[in-house]
Amino acid sequence: MLLQAKKTNASVDVTNGKIEGSLEMTDKLFGTDGVRGEANTWPMTAEMALKLGAAAGRYFRRDHQDHRVVIGKDTRLSGYMIEYALTAGFASTGMNVFLLGPVPTPAVGYLTHGLRADVGVMISASHNPAKDNGIKLFGPDGFKLSDEAEAGIEALMAGGVEPAAPDNIGRAKRFEDARGRYVEYAKTTFPYRGRLEGLRIVLDCANGAAYRTAPSVLWELGAELVLIGVDPNGYNINDGCGSTQPGTAAAKVLETGADLGICLDGDADRVVLIDETGHVADGDQIMALIATRWAQEGRLAGNTLVATVMSNLGLERHLNANGIELKRTGVGDRYVVEAMRQGGHNLGGEQSGHIVMTDYATTGDGLIGALQFLAGMVETGKKASELARVFDPLPQKLINVRYKAGQAPLETDSVQDAIAKGERRLGSDGRLLIRKSGTEPLIRVMGEAMDPVLLDSVLDSVVKAVEVATEDQANL
């Protein structure tokens, strides 16, 4: 999440025996997925990372001698700066730092728990361009932090952190076995009776965190690979490749006659798939396939899939027709995981390609999600095109309307009236979802309907009402 807040003054002071600073913020530091922003601009500065590392280290220190933190990253140039600043902060509070290097986000969750670390860190801005970066924190159970833990860390950052005594300062070292451990684990999630011999796969790693791990897993399982996005240079992550730009991979699937295309994002917690005809399957289709298969096998906990309000209405109707419940959450994979843990569910995700399977991982895992799809191909003998189109999605359209800071167009009577009228027009054959963006000053106007002409008409009416309200507020 790109923070809307601006930092007006920052300094780090250790002269009084505490690591503290004057941080004047107009909004909380943590967004829906950690801290994120443009590198070397607040909040993604070395100063902030130092202070965050110290506060998180102090917050998570437990009553034992070996205080551990694992730090992974993707391939952005700014990762070095953030990595070393965090390391200094953690070490200053007595935490021993294990540097994992470039690894997928789910590998950090896996190794945080597996190495009995007190806290885990992933340095990544996921699918964002190379100029951005972010910091995601994991608790000792390998799951992303709760709102309460993030608030506690922010409180420590604001109040100052007591550093460790000189003889208790932490050490830092490279953990050379990180990739190998994750590779071996990922392979165990693929059914033992299945192998990938005879399958040609186009694999797009987005020049990101999985550029070495994902090829290793698929090749060792027997696949023939055509690789894209495995030459990171610090600047090209997500650039014309990856899950948000699958066109290159789709063309390569057709060119090489591949059986499947797999597109990961920069930190490999998302995936979209491409069948042999070049058709792209998003997270909704992947979740539909896995949920249906698991339900038939008696593996779907609570016979429920957890997804966000953005998932297509066609997914919900398909699940209901198969006796499966869809539980919706707010936008963001952390909200999906929270609902899964609270309800005891083991499958969830987002339309964007976060596929969360708590039987295997503590967060979205693009590679393991793809392996579940491949398991379906191997076990059924069906082509990707027969599995990747599980349901017919309703036409879905999203329009963004920009507004100025301080304005509240959604709260006006005229906009609320337009939304109510639109919902009545759509009836049971569609739905509207109107919300503020969590990353920039935009009103996101999304709708679905069986009749695309009706959908366009309804959305145009709502968008016009939002634009007029925005103009009216600007003239006040």
Tokens linked to 473: 């507020």
Tokens linked to 253: 């699937």
Given CA atoms 45, 48, 51, 54 in this order, what sign does their dihedral have?
negative
Separation CA 409–CA 144 (nearest Å): 33
Strand residue runs (E) in 282-323: 304-308
Tokens 């728990």, residue? Answer: 113
Separation CA 364–CA 345 (nearest Å): 14
Separation CA 71–CA 68 (nearest Å): 10
Separation CA 349–CA 357 (nearest Å): 8
Separation CA 324–CA 321 (nearest Å): 7
Known catalytic residue at 126 = yes
- DSSP H helix total and E strand total for the chain: 14, 18
The one catalytic residue in 126, 243, 311, 352 is 126
Q: Who contacts 296 (Cβ-Cβ below 8 Å, separation ≥6)?
A: none
Given CA atoms 195, 192, 359, 135 in this order, what sign does their dihedral have?
negative
Please, what is the Cα angle at 58 between 70 and 20, to 5 degrees?
A: 115
Tokens linked to 119: 């806290």
The per-residue DSSP string of 113-182 comes to: HHTT-SEEEEE--TTS-TTEEEEEEE-TTSSBPPHHHHHHHHHHHHH-BPPPPGGG---EEE-TTHHHHH
Tokens linked to 269: 């917690």
Q: Which amino acid is at 411?
A: E
DSSP helix/strand/coil, 31: strand
DSSP helix/strand/coil, 403: coil
Separation CA 104–CA 183 (nearest Å): 11
Separation CA 198–CA 103 (nearest Å): 28
CB hemisphere CA count around 392 (13 angstroms): 2
Segment (H or E) for 200: strand 200-204
DSSP helix/strand/coil, 441: coil
Catalytic (active-site) positions: 126
